[in-house]
Amino acid sequence: MKRIVEFPLESGESILVEVDEPAVIDDRIGLRDQIVDKAHQTFESALDKIRPVANVILTKVRNIKEPADEVEVKFGIKISAELGAVIASGNGEVNYEITLKWKRESQDDHTA
């Protein structure tokens, strides 16, 4: 079941995110004939769960014996009111697609 979750922002504003999970009965408010659940964390803190994934990928890429000149990693995330951001299992479940891109510095960059 799809539902709308209101995520507060650290600035005091909020955004609405459509999520696909069972509805919870408490903490609901009505919005234009839709059910809106209030998240119990900020949107920024929900997205903080992605940072360790990016850090692990970057560390592993940097430790490759002969790294590529450019590395691009894409993964999708799904937003959950209870869990925050989780890596999505398929393209149909993705709320956001994250692209991480690294370019290896050339030897000329170090001698300049």
- Per-domain residue ranges of the chain: 2-111
User: What pLDDT, on the 0 to 100 scale, is given for residue 16?
Assistant: 72
CA within 13 Å, CB half, 49: 15
Q: From the CB of residue 55, how many other CB atoms can be counted at a distance below 10 Å? A: 10
Percent of the chain with pLDDT over 70: 71
Task: Give the pLDDT band (50/70/90) at residue 38.
Answer: confident
Question: At residue 64, does pLDDT exceed 60?
Answer: yes
Q: Do residues 38 and 5 lie in contact, with contact meaning Cβ atoms separated by under 8 Å?
A: yes
* Alpha helices (H) in 30-87, listed in sequence order: 43-47, 51-62
- Comparing 56-60, 65-69, 92-96, which segment has the lowest mean pLDDT? 92-96
pTM here?
0.54
DSSP label of 81: T
User: What pLDDT, on the 0 to 100 scale, is given for residue 21?
Assistant: 61
Question: At residue 74, does pLDDT exceed 70?
Answer: yes
Q: Which residue did the predictor score with more confidence, 33 or 96? A: 96
